[in-house]
């Protein structure tokens, strides 16, 4: 959410930013905000004048009563009553205006970083860099669920009966691999100086609206019936929510946290054949990283966060690339975002396995996350990034480590978490 003062002083910049995000239907919202803001300031000014006048009249009444001029005092009292009625009327209107103003401000997108490429949708995202050599083996690589079935490691049919489409049972060595990757990711991030955390898996509505846009909320979140609680779609939501309505000592920044959680998502819409299996699902687990820092440090932390994910995947011998998200692919609160994509030897292309985002002070403004600095209070900057999110990551792992005989190689970094196992063998 933008600062109302910034919108007031830079309406043309705000409108151009909306155009850059290809959301022209929101252009009129800027003028609505300016009109409401003007009315709100005029109301406050009149209320302040009425209160000052009330104090003046109160002194006048006291003087008249002291002089025995009761009739004149009664006449003046009528002015006090009229002023009180007008003040009450203005206060009601002020509340209405501020509610409308906040509702619109929550919809106007954040100002994107100047380095973000301008594009309409994810088809115009820009490749930044590749890490590792993508290889296509000289043997056929089956679909990922077929690989898992060879190890008797997945049962989607039973899960469909129990919970419906978009769910799964992982079993045996595949389930162990899933847990091993998460445990390794936890220790990998601890090794990089991040504090490990297990957060609440449900959050209240004020936290939801503080960390994401209404469009994201509708597309992602499951609400608990009869409760002011939502299942988290990612632990970033509850991790950033941890700092709601707090004043942080500047000397304690940055806060660098890595969190484990299950994640729950609606995943609305139709998806292609490559997004079946365990690619798009309603329930998965993830290791996340978040940073709360000073504004001048957020660019540096952004680069360090996505690099962590790249380094993690490379230790598992998975080639990856980074993709700069264009303006039209950025969620409204984001200033800048980079996707990390893993190589799929079967598809002969990369696919998304993580996303790194800098949200500037947007979440901090909504959640009132302030920093007590040497020169006064200011809003913190917040960032988040995926370390790893199996079971989607399992697709990249299995394809890139599959051998011609159907076994799957366990990279050295992961072997301690797999009981020393070097290969996953096909089950007869």
Q: Give domain limits for the chain.
A: 4-105, 122-424
Q: Is the pLDDT of residue 73 over 80?
A: no
Pairwise pLDDT comparison (66 vs 418), residue with the higher score: 418
Q: Is the pLDDT of residue 276 over 90?
A: no
Residue 343's nearest CA partner among 412, 400, 391, 299 is: 400
Q: Which of 213, 366, 392, 399 is catalytic?
A: 392
Q: What is the pLDDT of residue 74?
A: 62
353 membership: H or E segment, kind and range: strand 349-358
- CA 128 – CA 273 distance, rounded (Å): 27
Residue 352 annotated among the catalytic residues of the structure: yes
pLDDT classification of 341: cutoffs 50, 70, 90: very high
- Of the given ranges (43-52, 237-246, 296-305, 335-344), which has the lowest mean pLDDT? 43-52
CATH code of the domain occupying 122-424: 3.30.930.10
Compute the mean pLDDT over every residue in the chain, rounded to the nearest whole number.
Answer: 92
Residue 123 annotated among the catalytic residues of the structure: no
Q: Alpha carbon of 358 to those of 50, 338, 362, 390: distances in Å?
A: 45, 9, 10, 23
Q: Which two tokens stand for residue 124?
A: 């115009």
DSSP state of 111: P
Summarize pLDDT for 193-250 with one digit per residue, the tens.
999 999 999 999 999 999 987 777 777 899 999 999 999 999 999 999 999 999 999 9
Tell me what percent of the residues of the chain surpass a pLDDT of 90.
81
- Of the given ranges (26-30, 54-58, 365-369, 387-391), which has the lowest mean pLDDT? 54-58
Q: What is the pLDDT of residue 343?
A: 97
Cα torsion through 203, 205, 209, 213, rounded to 10? 90
Q: Is the pLDDT of residue 109 over 70?
A: yes
| Contact indicator for 422, 407 with CB cutoff of 8 Å | no
Q: Alpha carbon of 284 to those of 215, 280, 309, 346, 373: distances in Å?
A: 21, 9, 18, 23, 39
CATH fold label, 4-105: Helix Hairpins (1.10.287)
Report yes or no on whether pTM surpasses 0.85. yes
Q: Work out the burial of residue 258: count CB atoms within 10 Å of its CB; fewer than 13 is exposed, 13-18 middle, 19 or more buried.
A: buried
Q: Which of 204, 352, 409, 415 is catalytic?
A: 352
Q: Which of 186, 265, 346, 370 is catalytic?
A: 265
Pairwise pLDDT comparison (385 vs 221), residue with the higher score: 385
Residue 392 annotated among the catalytic residues of the structure: yes
| Contact indicator for 85, 24 with CB cutoff of 8 Å | no
Please, which residues have CB within 8 angstroms of residue 75's CB and are 6 or more apart in sequence? none
């Amino acid at each position: 959410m933008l600062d109302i003062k910034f919108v007031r002083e830079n309406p043309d910049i705000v409108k151009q930013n909306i155009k850059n995000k290809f959301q022209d239907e929101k252009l009129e919202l800027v003028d609505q905000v300016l009109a409401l803001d003007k009315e709100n300031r005029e109301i406050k000014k009149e209320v302040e004048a009425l209160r000052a006048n009330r104090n003046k009249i109160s002194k006048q009444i006291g003087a008249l009563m002291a002089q025995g001029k009761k009739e004149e005092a009664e006449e003046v009292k009528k002015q006090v009553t009229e002023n009180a009625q007008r003040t009450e009327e203005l206060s009601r209107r002020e509340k209405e205006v501020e509610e409308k103003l906040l509702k619109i401000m929550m919809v106007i997108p954040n100002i994107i970083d100047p380095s973000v490429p301008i594009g309409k949708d994810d088809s115009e995202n820009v490749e930044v860099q590749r890490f590792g050599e993508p290889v296509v083996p000289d043997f056929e690589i089956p679909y990922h669920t077929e690989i898992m079935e060879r190890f008797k490691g997945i049962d989607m049919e039973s899960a469909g009966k129990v919970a419906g489409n978009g769910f799964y049972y992982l079993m045996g060595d595949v389930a162990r691999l899933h847990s091993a990757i998460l445990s390794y990711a936890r220790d990998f991030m601890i090794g990089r100086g991040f504090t490990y955390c297990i957060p609440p898996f449900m959050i209240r509505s004020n936290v939801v609206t503080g960390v994401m846009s209404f469009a994201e909320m509708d597309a992602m979140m499951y609400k608990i019936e009869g409760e002011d609680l939502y299942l988290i779609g990612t632990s970033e939501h509850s991790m950033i929510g941890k700092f709601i309505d707090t004043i942080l000592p500047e000397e304690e920044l940055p806060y660098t946290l890595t969190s484990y959680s299950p994640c729950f998502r609606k995943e609305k819409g139709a998806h292609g054949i490559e997004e079946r299996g365990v690619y798009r699902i309603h329930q998965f687990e993830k290791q996340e990283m978040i940073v709360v820092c000073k504004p001048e440090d957020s660019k540096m932390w952004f680069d360090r966060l996505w690099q962590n994910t790249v380094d993690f995947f490379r230790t598992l011998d998975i080639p990856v690339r980074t993709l700069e998200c264009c303006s039209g692919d950025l969620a409204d609160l984001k200033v800048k975002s980079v996707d990390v994509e893993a190589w799929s030897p079967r598809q002969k292309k990369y696919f998304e396995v993580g996303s790194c985002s800098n949200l500037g002070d947007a979440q901090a403004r909504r959640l009132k996350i302030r920093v007590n600095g040497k020169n006064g209070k200011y809003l913190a900057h917040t960032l988040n990034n995926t370390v790893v999110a199996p079971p989607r990551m399992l697709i990249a792992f299995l394809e890139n480590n599959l051998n011609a005989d159907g076994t799957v190689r366990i990279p050295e970094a992961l072997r301690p978490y797999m009981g020393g196992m070097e290969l996953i063998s096909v089950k007869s």
